Amino acid sequence: MNFKNGENSAVVQPLSHPLPYSSPMKNSENRSAFDMRLTGLDPKLFPSEKLFDWLLQPRHPVLVTDEPLTKMFIEGMITGDPCKFIYFGGSSPGKARTVHVAMVFQHHPHGRIYVAGYCPERSACRVLALDLIVTIYVWN
């Protein structure tokens, strides 16, 4: 920190490359015991290494599309209206869901599209893969 002219400022140098997440042990049982001794925290409270890496990827918003299902979620995000659909992923495949959409995004251009939002049935925020979502329309 610099304390020049009564100012409190810190100079931060950016890393030339990101630090990889790596665990000191490969065996998950040994790693859990090691992490517990090292941090005093239960490793089951933290995401797996694969999920952790997925969470660190940038989220690029999807705002324009010709695909009707993606449009439904973008419109829900803009208007604030909840979106209703059937989701074939997660712990209850085939269950009807409702989500108040916060963001429609993808990690890579032309990659898988995700919907992030609040699920009132679960009382929690959820991220759902768009390719596992089906909507049902009823015509008279």
Three-state SS at 121: coil
Q: Report residue 42's pLDDT band, with 50, 70 and 90 as the boundaries.
A: low
Q: Report residue 12's pLDDT band, with 50, 70 and 90 as the boundaries.
A: very low
Supply the pLDDT for residue 47: 66
Q: Which one has a higher pLDDT value, 8 or 87?
A: 87
Three-state SS at 129: strand
d(CA 17, CA 70): 34
Q: Which one has a higher pLDDT value, 76 or 14?
A: 76
Q: Please state the rounded mean pLDDT for residues 10-22.
A: 48
Q: Render pLDDT for 55-67 as a digit per residue (tens, 0 to 9).
A: 888 999 999 999 9
Q: Report residue 19's pLDDT band, with 50, 70 and 90 as the boundaries.
A: very low
Supply the pLDDT for residue 53: 83
Out of 35-39, 49-53, 66-70, least confident range: 35-39
pLDDT for residue 50 is more than 70: yes
d(CA 14, CA 112): 30
Q: Which one has a higher pLDDT value, 29 or 60?
A: 60
pTM for this predicted structure: 0.64
How is 28-76 classified by DSSP, letter by letter?
HHHHHHHHHHHHSS-GGGS--HHHHHHHHS--EE----S-HHHHHHHHH
Contacts 24+ apart (CB under 8 A), 92-100: 97/121, 97/128, 99/126, 99/128, 100/76
